[in-house]
Structure 1
């Protein structure tokens, strides 16, 4: 009998006696205690499995030679297979099931770290339930926002837009600040989901004028060799008509060539352009207006585009361009960090060891003294792969002391895992801003 059926028949059933109510309460308490015991058992088994994998990989994987570009992944060491056999008596399917009940946090480990490990190992439903409870515990008062940010990222990675919007309302009420905007990483990988590698970048800074021509020409030349290009506008301080003309021509050319674009700081540049123009004033010509319309179109902000197009029409007495939905364009939040060199973009999911990604990283390290890993697409890296990547980066750092390594635009679920595994001693980690 369902819960709602019980309510529907409440008018025909006699009320419970005191003895029946006492027995019901006792049974509920026993069930709660049984559930908690089962949760603790699952949490301990999860920790045992992770510890076994970690120790085995530390002992064996990092002593293996790295494969050549395009070669097959090396065979799994026997020690790691043995690590799985240790837990054969425990129902592993329970550990991986999305319907797994909430595992109680181990008293010796912070809940954030436990959530990061569960999510890394594919238990997103369990991680979401734990994050929901952690967020509820902090509602109503200002406190650490890590759980909120992790839950925002989980909703975006799994495409839960309505849940994200509901959490945004609670976030604004709790912290009395603007909530994050929806920027699902799935949108970043829509055009080339399995691609990873060097991402040519034009990081524009200072005055947007004729001096940007060389940077834009270099980006256009690299377009044939890379399916993904990145333009950063977050360090632009001013614009002039010639710079607007050059950038507009480049954006249109890259769009016509079906290149996937990642634009950083586009909203701020659009706002700067809007502040510099006025209806009826033609001093700087049409270029700033047309660049504004192009940026609004690339951001898929149709209503704002239509309003600006009408102002453009009134000012220059010409027909405005029509709105066309953007194709293969994604926005990334601005970072208050130095301008980026060419980045190595990581794929949406890294699991079952690094595979062909590993020689790609080695090749990148041979070409660039500073390594910048673009994590704007990365939604999840599993625990064994994160351990292996740590070992690779440690070897690169040891071989070249002083080498700078950075992870940019990292979601907060991955950030928590990287910090747990000691990445902060090797690299700078820049989680995306909320």
Structure 2
């Protein structure tokens, strides 16, 4: 009961009429609330649209891209002969050409800077190269709203968020991207945290590509990996061409993966998600096979892929099936992943370190040694997060003196913009990673 009701008094003083300022504030508040509600509805619609588009594109991708892109310089297996028609007598000849010959320069996965955004893209590239990531982010955020149909600044901002580990902002940008372009946004691929021994490592990357059936015959490949691990802190394993698994092969691969992790080796996995799906298709809850190896390898792959929720669900299924305590999840610290659609790294690709800053120093000697051995120089930039302006100029001057075919593969879009600005396109081909 209120104070006035106790003493039987009422306040008869009329409320003051709202002033113009109060009314304006009330209208502004209502307008802001309506704007926020409308924006929330738009985001929900965009999220639903993105989910539908993902489902459609996943089905299309399975049909179109279910065969991984060939490694650099490799030949694609000839297809079965097709009957010639009057309209296309030379079709079979084109089908039998390797992909690297069939595609012209304009067809390869390059993304040129659009003329209307070139000045701001170049300014952002220089700021980012010189370590001013916060200022670059502000300019990119402002430029996204004015980019129109050009996606360059969007891709640069996606890359900046991934390099700096800003997952929440990346997800918010993904919703806006799906709403603006009515297509799926890029996936989140957090950069691997390199081991202390590999933070500045550069050089040829030991690679093993597994194909066919994962059975005891892979032991020779695994032995090569174990030997390479003694000299190289970074190893690359490709599973995109594996078609079946056997328990004995799973046990061998599981043992090697655990040993490499114990040795603090940084791993780059290609097609690990496809291998996990393949193993999952061959097991069932409650069905005990001859060994637990496929289950344990699946759990190991989910852990390396940092899929904690899937790991926990699979661990419970494993617990029910074998009546044992489920293993616990440990987040990976030295693992990077690549999709099967990316060009596979062959042993002749030279991997650049995550950061090039100041002076190239000994790296120039390594590059020269690499150039002495190969006519085509392919630089793997999948780990390269940033190169500063001085280093980029020094690298350009060094490469310009070589009479070689030069390529930069899997470059993030921030670095791509800087390389184009400094004239790298005149001496090399630049292939940004696909979004």
Question: Aligning the two structures, in what range does the TM-score lie when normalised by the shorter sequence?
Answer: 0.5 to 0.7
- 1:374-397 alpha-carbon deviations (Å, 9 max, x no partner): 32221211233223222322333x
Q: Which residue of 1 aligns with 2:200?
A: 194
Are 2:365 and 1:346 equivalent residues in the alignment?
no
TM-score, normalisation: structure 2: 0.66
**Greater mean alpha carbon deviation, residues 322-331 or residues 377-386:** 322-331
Are 2:119 and 1:118 equivalent residues in the alignment?
no
Q: 1:120 to 1:326 in 2, by over 3 A?
A: closer
Q: Distance in 1 between matches of 2:399 and 2:290?
A: 50
Note the 1:314-329 alignment, pairs <5 A: 314-329=320-335
Q: Which residue of 2 aligns with 1:408?
A: 409
Q: 1:428 to 1:218 in 2, by over 3 A?
A: farther
Equivalent pairs counted in the alignment come to: 328
User: Does the 8 Å CA contact 1:201/1:229 hold for their aligned counterparts?
Assistant: yes
TM-score, normalisation: structure 1: 0.66
Q: Distance in 1 between matches of 2:203 and 2:196?
A: 16
Q: Distance in 2 between matches of 1:185 and 1:274?
A: 26
Q: Which residue of 1 aligns with 2:191?
A: 185
Are 2:160 and 1:151 equivalent residues in the alignment?
no
User: Does the 8 Å CA contact 2:299/2:311 hold for their aligned counterparts?
Assistant: yes
Q: 1:210 to 1:416 in 2, by over 3 A?
A: farther
Q: Which residue of 2 aligns with 1:133?
A: 142
How many Å apart are 1:280 and its aligned residue? 3.0
**Greater mean alpha carbon deviation, residues 345-354 or residues 187-196:** 187-196
Note the 1:285-364 alignment, pairs <5 A: 285-341=291-347, 343-364=349-370
User: Does the 8 Å CA contact 1:347/1:378 hold for their aligned counterparts?
Assistant: yes
How many Å apart are 1:430 and its aligned residue? 3.2
Q: Which residue of 1 aligns with 2:269?
A: 263
Q: Which residue of 1 aligns with 2:392?
A: 386
Tell which structure's C-alpha radius of gyration is larger.
2
How many Å apart are 1:327 and its aligned residue? 4.2
Q: Which residue of 1 aligns with 2:430?
A: 429
Q: 1:159 to 1:322 in 2, by over 3 A?
A: closer
User: Does the 8 Å CA contact 2:147/2:153 hold for their aligned counterparts?
Assistant: no
Q: Distance in 2 between matches of 1:118 and 1:181?
A: 25
How many Å apart are 1:318 and its aligned residue? 3.9
Question: Structure 1: which 5+ runs fail to align?
Answer: 1-10, 16-104
Q: Which residue of 1 aligns with 2:180?
A: 174
How many Å apart are 1:425 and its aligned residue? 4.8
Q: Which residue of 2 aligns with 1:250?
A: 256
User: Does the 8 Å CA contact 1:203/1:339 hold for their aligned counterparts?
Assistant: no
- 1:332-381 alpha-carbon deviations (Å, 9 max, x no partner): 44443245225433222223342221112122333455433232221211
Q: 1:284 to 1:153 in 2, by over 3 A?
A: farther
**Greater mean alpha carbon deviation, residues 253-262 or residues 326-335:** 326-335
User: Does the 8 Å CA contact 1:335/1:432 hold for their aligned counterparts?
Assistant: no
2:401 to 395, 402, 405: 395
